[in-house]
Structure 1
């Protein structure tokens, strides 16, 4: 696993950034049967073909590591030539986190009120729980970016966080 990177139109493969401090690795589509089965289940759940997905990314966050608030939606020519914009993100929690590490959506509003919002003062906060998955859409039906999809990962306070992310595009995404 290596230091995670962020998308940068001027850097092939992205660049390291203080906004994202996790480590990670990509597992190519069809890497093995288990990955293939996971990708098929994601496709079944989202109704987005497997071929529209980027490689599955496994991420690890130690104490203090985080990912500042950002959008997964991509709308510049260089990053959308292959597959078009990212339309959705499927995030799987591979471990429980003792404290911190929540996925936060600062501009989103809960449809139902609940007694706990994971410590979020505004927006929605999702506490990592092993076996849970989170699907969110980066695009509105007209193809524009949905501002409510802005999200980040709070710093881990105790323990560590393991997750896997699958970004899904509007067209086939080639995984060279």
Structure 2
């Protein structure tokens, strides 16, 4: 009798916690939608904050609840896209992946792009500050919890095989804790292929590098951004957040990635 009563209490507490997490996620999406519904282009002349956040331009589209994926249309301006590419181009190097044993970056056939990270000084540039503030607002994660922005270039034939953004090693968890969310921003148009592919999100077919696959494929449109969470509502790493960059068939795919952590990173 006592055991049954204890089990009912535990189940009741778990239900309350789960409902609370779901309500929190819904509130976050409602917050974003309210931002967009409350402002328009006419506010830009006298409202610097609205201009920084591109209120009236950014349009959120929910792609999936499990894993949580939101497509943010018009997240960056054309000027911001070109600015990030201009900073990055002279410093591009062959991309690496994180070694689970050492936590260090190593070259791998899993990722065949080239890229670079903005440095701490560039983070203070007004345009970069504006982008980071916008990321923080829409992701609802403090600016200080973000890693440095990484800019990537994928040329014809290059790709990034499906992977998780959360860490499986202890080395990378020492500074900032686990990665909880990612904002992936597209910096170019006129790219064939190069979709961002979520194989465990959805059950419909989509085109990934010219091949039909099951899942969700996001086409790289200049200025759009994909916001997705690597941690579920239970606070645990979400295996369904696995994603990859499909093969580029023609053109160049440029993107900028911002990873958000559990704790302050700088």
Compute the TM-score of the two structures, normalised by the length of structure 2.
0.60
Gaps of 5+ in 2: 1-91
Describe how 1:142-153 pairs up with structure 2 within 5 A.
142-153=234-245
- CA separation in 1, counterparts of 2:93 and 2:237? 29
Q: Choose the corresponding residue for 2:261, options 160, 169, 173.
A: 169
1:12 Cα deviation after fit? 5.9
By how many angstroms is 1:36 displaced? Answer: 1.1
Report the alpha carbon displacement of residue 170 of structure 1 after superposing the two structures with TM: 0.8
Q: Distance in 2 between matches of 1:164 and 1:51?
A: 18
- Which structure's relative contact order is higher, taking Cα pairs within 8 Å and 6+ residues apart? 1
Cα deviation, 1:119-150, whole Å, max 9, x if unaligned, reads 54211100100010000000012221112210
Moved more, 89-98 or 55-64: 89-98
1:95 to 188, 196, 202: 188
Highest Rg: 1 or 2? 2
Question: 114, 117, 121: which is aligned to 2:213?
Answer: 121
Secondary structure of the structure 2 residue equivalent to 1:121: strand
SS state of the match for residue 254, structure 2? Answer: strand
How large is the Cα RMSD of the aligned pairs? 1.8
Separation of aligned partners in 1, 2:119 and 2:143: 12
Contact 1:62 1:159 (8 Å CA) reproduced: yes
Counterpart-to-counterpart distance in 2, 1:107 and 1:49: 28
Could you say which residue in structure 2 is the equivalent of 1:7?
Answer: 98
Instruction: Number of aligned residue pairs: give it.
Output: 170
* Structure 1 unaligned blocks of 5 or more: none
Q: Does 1:65 align with 2:158?
A: yes
Structure 1 length-normalised TM = 0.90
SS in 2 for 1:173: coil
